[in-house]
Amino acid sequence: MNIFETFWTYRSYFGTGIQYTLLLAAIGVICGFILGMVISMLRMSRFWLPRFVGTVWVEFLRGTPMLVQLFIIHYGLVSFGIKLTAIESGAITLSLNSSAYLAEVFRAGIQGVDRGQAEAARSLGMSKAMTMRYIILPQAVKSVLPAIGNEFITIIKESSIVSFIGVTDLMYQAQAVTTITYESLKPLLIIAVIYFMMTFTLSKLLGLFERRLNTE
């Protein structure tokens, strides 16, 4: 059986893997977006305690392997009576890890907005919260959208670790096909091509979107 026959015979396995991979990546980026925004606000707080919490959050999640984080959430939390399904643990891990990177992206975007705009808004009577919501954040988010897209691509690739806890993503399905066929190379090559097709297509779409933003 050649590689094309292997793919066609077990296409339902790979199709299921694609669905779970994209689902977890989407959840990770969306939740990471929201949480990352909050963490970036903490990082830029005037008070030392929120800044400390935000800094520890970012440095810990960026400085430890995602696989370790996954095992802590899926297996470690059981010690405290918190039992999560494999999908829940995978989604939480990807969301938390993504939030640490997106927090720094947002912080850079916010700090990149001209301070004169904030001063002009304050001179017009807008509060600091209103200035941030209506003036600073819209511009910051627009400027970092390409970086958010790149994070989505990264999460798609890194989501393969959830196979270690039994989530039926692409990596898990490749292992299942290997168990059936006793061939390890072909299933791995198939999912490598699938990963490449997903990330390459998404990167091209992001490039078109970025060029469109630059022309507005």
**Which pair of structure tokens corresponds to residue 30?**
């969306």
Cβ atoms of residues 120 and 136 within 8 Å = no
Percentage of the chain beyond pLDDT 70 is 98
What is the predicted pLDDT for the residue at 115? 76
pLDDT single digits (tens) 133-152: 777 887 887 778 888 888 88
Q: How many C-beta atoms lie closer than 10 Å to residue 153's C-beta? A: 17
Give the number of C-alpha atoms closer than 13 A to the C-alpha of residue 204, restricted to the C-beta side: 5
**Which pair of structure tokens corresponds to residue 119?**
């001063």
pLDDT single digits (tens) 175-190: 999 999 999 899 999 9
pLDDT single digits (tens) 198-209: 999 988 888 887
Structural domain boundaries in the chain:
3-215
Answer whether CATH 3.30.70.270 is correct for domain 3-215: no
pLDDT single digits (tens) 61-96: 999 999 999 999 999 999 999 999 999 999 999 999
Q: What CA dihedral angle connects 141, 145, 150 and 155, to 10 degrees? A: 60
